[in-house]
Amino acid sequence: MAPANVKEAVVERGCNVVGRLPYQLTRVGPFLTSRMPPLTHLLGPWVDSGNGKPQTRMARRLSIVRELIDQLPRTDFFEQILDPSLDDGLAVADGLAFQDRGFTVAPQYTFEVDCRHGVDSLWDGMHFKTRQHIRRAEDMFAVRAVDDADTFIAAYSHNIEARGWVNRLELKNFPALHQQCRTRDCGRVFAAFDAGDSPVAMAFLVWSPSTMYFLLSTRGDDPMDKGSVNLLLWAAMKEANRKGLLFDLDGVHTSGTARFLCGFGGHIKTRMVVRKGTALFNLLRYGKLRLSRNETQYFT
């Protein structure tokens, strides 16, 4: 059962549901906001645009998405990352509907590898330095699935604390999420273990009928470890190949991340981030970027 603060806009045509837009409401100090729920990297509308020519289906989709947006409650801030691959690619037009309703639309980049090709083709498509790191890591680490969610939580928390970072990721619901993924066969944790059988890197993979996502990962702070994450990504690519899926490396936020991920032979893809906020909230939100992590209580 969804939490009480998770709501959904719905559009019907006759007796059929043709559009859904889930959202989560959260109080942040005096502000009412709607952001992505924890451990959710893509959201946005689900739409049945029906049959017909592409332009007919596109017009129908735009109309449905506008109706969904019009049902959203008034908030001080709204933000979602849309999946443009839905509905035969027609979802790329959702940004037009949000833009028409006064939202800003910005790009977010990710890398996608088509793992439906043969494993040899995937290996050949990687940069030679990436393959070197994987070969060295294969001599040092063994990759296997981990079915205990608490093991992942402990490793993630330990690695954050070891670096002196602030853990801003909510993991209290991770065991239930992991269990549901295992029950539905749509997600699993994989880990790279050293010779002493200690996990040096872990990753939580989830997948839909078409795409696998590198949703969440963690690595120890050993400066000599140059390849455990490479090895996990390669293991994920082979798993996606066995399942006949695309592999989304799930987000590129810096040029350094882009250089690392492009070594795996994927192609850059663009997602859309839709946002809308009041003037006061936007002023405080952008002001937060100039403050240290612990200097404000409202925007954590």
**Taking all residues of the chain, what is their mean pLDDT, rounded to a whole number?**
90
Helix (H) or strand (E) holding 148: none
197 compared with 165, residue with greater pLDDT: 197
Same domain, 225 and 283: no
In this predicted structure, what is the pLDDT of residue 189? 97
Same domain, 68 and 124: no
User: Taking the CB of residue 119, how many other CB atoms lie within 10 A of it?
Assistant: 13
Query: Could you report the per-residue pLDDT of 91-150, keeping only the tens digit for each?
Result: 888 999 999 999 999 999 999 999 999 999 999 999 999 999 999 999 999 999 999 999
Q: Is residue 170 part of a domain?
A: yes
**Nearest CA among 169, 246, 170, 252 for reference residue 205:** 246
Q: Is residue 251 part of a domain?
A: no
The confidence band for 87, taking pLDDT boundaries of 50, 70 and 90, is confident
The confidence band for 225, taking pLDDT boundaries of 50, 70 and 90, is confident
Q: Are 122 and 265 in contact (CB under 8 A)?
A: yes
Q: Is residue 220 part of a domain?
A: yes
Same domain, 102 and 165: no
pLDDT score of 298 more than 50:
no
Q: Is residue 127 part of a domain?
A: yes
In this predicted structure, what is the pLDDT of residue 293? 42
Same domain, 196 and 79: no
Same domain, 136 and 89: no
Same domain, 80 and 162: no
pLDDT score of 21 more than 60:
yes
Query: At 199, phi and psi to the nearest 5?
Result: -70, 125
Same domain, 80 and 37: yes
Domain that holds residue 125: 116-244
Q: Is residue 257 part of a domain?
A: no
Query: Could you report the per-residue pLDDT of 37-86, keeping only the tens digit for each?
Result: 888 989 999 999 999 999 999 999 999 999 999 999 999 999 999 987 77
Q: How many domains does the chain have?
A: 2
Q: What is the average pLDDT across 144-173? A: 90
Same domain, 161 and 236: yes
In this predicted structure, what is the pLDDT of residue 272? 93
Tokens for 95, please give them: 């940004």
Same domain, 201 and 103: no
Same domain, 35 and 123: no
Q: Are 144 and 188 in contact (CB under 8 A)?
A: no
Query: Could you report the per-residue pLDDT of 169-194, keeping only the tens digit for each?
Result: 889 999 999 999 999 999 999 999 99
pLDDT score of 29 more than 70:
yes
pTM, two decimal places: 0.86
Q: Which residues contact 231 (CB under 8 A, 6 or more apart)?
A: 133, 134, 137, 138, 141, 143, 192, 201
Residue 69 sits in a domain whose CATH number is 3.40.630
Alpha carbons within 13 angstroms on the beta-carbon side of residue 235 total 24
* Interhelix angle 128-140/228-243, nearest 10 degrees: 100
The confidence band for 296, taking pLDDT boundaries of 50, 70 and 90, is very low
